[in-house]
Each structure stands twice: as structure tokens, then as C-alpha cells.
Amino acid sequence: MLRFRLSDLPTLEASPTSPATLGTKIGELIIHSVSAAAQVEMVDRESGEYRVVLQGMLDLEDPNSGR
């Protein structure tokens, strides 16, 4: 699996995308983070619209550096 990098973050906003593709990208982001948290900011029970904010810290250690 390729390491998720800071330069990959803009790809999360690529539209349109399928839920499966977005889920994979977000999963890779979370897996390559040393900490992660989610906050549900808004849920509209009538329309099903929601807003979730992710916050975390990417693991920037290079796996090839031998550290």
C-alpha cells in the first residue's frame, strides 16, 4: 500500500467521485495517520444530508529511511 502524503490531500476534494472511491481515499488517510478523530457537525434528518469533519496528524516518517 502506498503511503498517503500531504500532497495527496487535494485528491479528497476531487468531484464527482463515488462513495467507494472516497471511502478508500479517506481510509488510506486514516491508516497513515498517527492520530485521527471525527466530528459530526450537521445532520439533516429530512434530507439525509450530513457533514463530518476529520482531524488528525499524518505519519510523515519515510518508511524507507530506516527509522
**pLDDT digit string, tens, across residues 7-20:** 888 988 887 889 99
Residue 1: pLDDT above 80? Answer: no
- What pLDDT does 61 receive? 81
Instruction: State the CB neighbour count (10 A cutoff) for residue 46.
Output: 5
Residue 6: pLDDT above 90? Answer: no
Taking all residues of the chain, what is their mean pLDDT, rounded to a whole number? 88
Residue 38: pLDDT above 60? Answer: yes
Residue 66: pLDDT above 60? Answer: no
